[in-house]
Structure 1
Amino acid sequence: MDRAEADSRLSQLKRAGEVPADSFVVEYEDGMNLRRISASGEGAATAAPDAVADDAVAAAEPVVAPVPPGQFIRLQTLRDETEAKAALTTWRETFEGAGLWRDADGLFAVTLGPVSDEAAAAWVPVLKRADVLPGDAFVSGAEGLGQQIEEGAAPDLAAPPATPLPMPPLEEVQSALRWAGLYPGDIDGKDGPRTQAGIAAQIATGRASTDPGTAIADLIASRAKWREDFGLTTLHDQPTSLSVTAPMHLLEFDRTERALSIYGPKDGSGVAMILFSQQGGQQELLDLSGLVTALGWVPKPERSIQNGHVVLQGRNDAHIGRAEGWVRDGFAEGYVLIWPAADAEDQARMAAEMSDSLKRDQQPANAEAGQPSPAQDSGIPGLTQP
């Protein structure tokens, strides 16, 4: 073909993204040594001059791996390749399978895909509302993306189920969301803005399904697996007659001190637990919370005090402390959990487990006992103080 035809054909290939944007046509000149490569890999005779332009265009066409069918979510578009690769690295912190493309105009696109049409339609608005995707993210087919610069992988974004799963009771939903750190409210079984925000956050972060029932079922299953993997057991504490789900492989019983049953760290775990129970009401509960603060179990605590319920939460360089207490059936009772500061995620999960599970087995042996006197230190062997 002549030069004009070759240029026209090459422009078509660039627009289709089938050749790199910097491909060009080479005109044959006398003395050029060109070889046509046959399908068998054996060399053929030198091509005639009339076929040289065709060979030049063919030589410019790279071997491009076929793109899987489906849609791609365009996360970000940039003009500079260095900036585009930096953006890809950042996006891979959120979506490990993000990829990078260059189109016929030389623009670079960070993408996520391929995903099915149904999955793309369901997930894009959900992830935009959660600020996981930028507001200008959109869906396009592979035909407009051009050449793949950095290979990506299909994300695990499922299409909505044909039959949505029913939601569990709201108390169970709130409990699971609190365990995941997505719900700061009371477990009261009442639907409200914080419960709905927690459900939306679980959908966006867990990415099991855009169906709320399926997303919560996945969270509940994850919690059950964590319990099993972490080796939690139910402790029946005789001095206080309280039972609680606890990491007993990290704890060992130390002593009873009137209203307190104290468990220290086992094998240097850095974990400690105190259970408290005595007859009384709101004043006794407040007195016990003051004792917890005086002993340094919850350093510099933030307090949430309601009628019949107290929460203290604080931390220092060494540990995170949380105390929670209730007035129930004529008793002021609760727990203190002390956990290494470096493991905040498991601390929050363990506190949620204890809060959900603490209950009375029977009247405690120390029901008539008064409060222990404040000491100068924590009084827990093996617990490091900063």
Structure 2
Amino acid sequence: MAVRFFLAIWVALTVLVLPAETRAQTGDQVWIQVEALPTLAEGEDRARAYATAFPDVVGHRLRSGWYGILLGPYSREQAALRLSSLIADRMIPADSYLNDGATFAESFWPVGLATPEATEGEPAAAQSEVDEPELLQPENPGLPLLPDETVEEARDSEKLLERPAREALQTALQWFGHYDSSIDGAFGPGTRESMAAWQTTMGYDPTGILTTAQRGELLTAYNDALAKLGLEKVTEAESGIEVTLPMALIQFDHYEPPFVHYAEKDGSGLRVILISQPGDQSSLNALYDTLQTLSVIPSDGPRERLERSFTISGSAPGQEAYAYAALSGGLIKGYLLVWDPAKVADMQRVKAAVQTSFKPVGDRALDPGLVPMEDAQRRGLMAGLEIRRPKLSRSGFFVDGQGAVVTTVQAVEQCSRITLDMETEATVAATDATLGLAVLKPAKALSPRAVGVFGATARVGAEVALSGYSYEDQLPAPTLTFGTLEDVKGLDGQANLNRLAIEALPGDAGGPVLDQAGAVLGVMLPRAEGGTRQLPSSVQHIAAGSALAGLLTQAGVVPPAAEAGGALPPEDLSRKALGMTVLVSCWE
């Protein structure tokens, strides 16, 4: 009774003290908003359903772009009492609230109802002619929808809330960054603190108990924020994934197993890719490695690989990415978010919505035969995505037990970063411009399968073996190429060079050249380009191993001592040569 009397007094005083112009604008009419739907068709369906139970159902498109279902209009006193009564009787959703009509655009239910924004003599715009709404933050209507309540009155009105309404408030508080615990409908100390934090942000007294008007304001702001992003639950039947996606920012594009592509909408700067494939632990590990080679995932950022799942974060100027995948029941499901941080201001909220809602459903994965693709498209599970490639790749080889590598200067010039075998970061420890060689050290110590041991100069005419990544990063392992030592000096008499008769490719530069005992004779140098002399393709030069002592000392590397021994069986020579060879990649 006290609350009702207070409401009546407040309404009377409001009408008396407001200027006539303001009273004419706001009036004494309010509506009970029971639902808001993202599309006109859904709005009409719900309005039709409510109309079977209530005689005063109206529908208006809201400034947020959604379609509101409302009851009314009523006086403010009537609306407040009817709202409490209908919620208590569970006739309307527990998170229903009062709306003074300030956010109404044209009406859509009943057909022909006048539109508040239409001027006299001018009909409301037809739906097909209405521009896409500008999505704004909720405006301050000038008056609260309900009078301010005392703490005791707010606590009393709060007691009428059912669990769904309480959970809705926690969800809204969580959305705005004030609440980080479970959504359970229990208003404990954590929820009270979050309510007080929200009140402080909005300029209210931080009591930790929201009044009816404050609850309505919080939920309105939350619903408007959802409408701005267009968050919708998407059930992707083909891939067996259920997830909430920001459909105002993205749109379905195409299937390319194992990916479901959602492209950016209207230049939003956001892409979403769902991942769905059958597989086991090795498949999950392969996917983890593969995703990191994609150009859409920047190389800088934390990675975490657990036994049955992984996450990958990438950050670079103008682009960020986040990937997640998990293995369960022989199926791998996950997602990849790629966005421009300058365009997607609410990305943390989008990311949180995707993370909390993502759920594999059913027992199916995306059918590899859903769309026709050539085998080349399927290779590496990278259909439809560009692989991030280095500027160039050359060969190198390990020269100590911690992973120091000798390679050519050509392989490390003008690089923003250098990697060993596409994964391990490395830095230049020393260079020798005369020899054209460099020594690299890995960011973390490695355990090479084999280490190059420098031996005595072989006799002219002896067979030698070159180990290198002839085709750069196109093949997953180095290859062996055999040739002959033609001279222990260069064509112009250089003492620090040896001349070979061997067919080598650009990717072989930096690779070790071994004798039949497995000792390193020298380092393959890039073939000289240009000039007036065109040498036969089989004429190649190596930097003699005996000339590397100073460079290794400068880099602080102590190579293993030479070992005496005879010729190795072919399989042992191959194992040793390939085990010491490493792919050196230069990235822009």
TM-score, normalised by the number of residues in structure 2: 0.31
Bigger strand share: 2
Larger proportion of helix = 1
* Structure showing greater Rg: 2
Q: Which has the higher contact order (CA 8 A, sep 6+)?
A: 1
